[in-house]
Amino acid sequence: MRRQIPGTINLVKLKNEPHGKSINFEADMRIYLLGFMGSGKSTLGQRIAGAFHVPFFDTDNVVEAQSGMTIPEIFSVYGEEYFRHLEADILRQTNFYPKSINSTGGGLPCFEHNMDWMKESGITVYLQWPDDLLRQHLLQIRQTRPLLSQFTESEAGMKISDLLTYRKPFYEQSAITIEMTGNIDSDYNLLEKTCKYIW
């Protein structure tokens, strides 16, 4: 049976797994936050983890801590393929935290069978922004994003559109999709309700 989160019927969509398999919720399961770069996974995830007193795991931060390099430096020195392998290894380290909030990099679900692994290891939650709002936000902060920083504003806009087209089918495999508003407090409340529903 498909379950719904009270009070957010128009904002939260629950999806069944392929082949009619139902989503099973348990008290001690990992929550994986998915979404495009700049969608608030790290900011909201850290805040939610603090409120629920559970570990917070940010794959980008751990990649940088374990490699001793920033992500732009890794891209520049070793390339994206190396980064994706490292990122996949880091993701699988979240197995050590049975009940936790895990923020994932924007491209992580699209490589190394990571999406399938997350669906087997916890509950995936897609933080979905309206495309136009997300694009506007990213163009303002593009210099902080390694996949966008080398482009002009026009080129970055095209890159965002191309990446969204490629990545959305992966994000949309998530068990739960939250339609974000772009307001930090409203979006926090939506994610908080979602976590209460899961746990």
* pLDDT of the chain, 199 residues: tens digit per residue: 334 343 332 334 444 444 434 556 666 789 999 999 889 999 999 999 999 999 999 999 999 999 999 988 998 899 989 999 999 999 999 998 889 999 999 999 999 999 999 999 999 999 999 888 888 888 877 777 767 877 888 888 888 899 999 999 999 999 999 998 888 999 999 999 999 988 8
Contact 197, 5 (CB under 8 A): yes
- Residue 27 confidence (pLDDT): 63
Q: Which CATH number fits domain 12-16+24-198: 3.40.50.300, 3.20.20.150, 1.20.200.10, 3.20.20.80?
A: 3.40.50.300
CA pair distance 23, 25, nearest whole angstrom:
6
Q: Is 123 helix (H, G, I), strand (E, B) or coil?
A: strand
What the block records as the tokens of 183 is: 């307001």
- Residue 20 confidence (pLDDT): 38
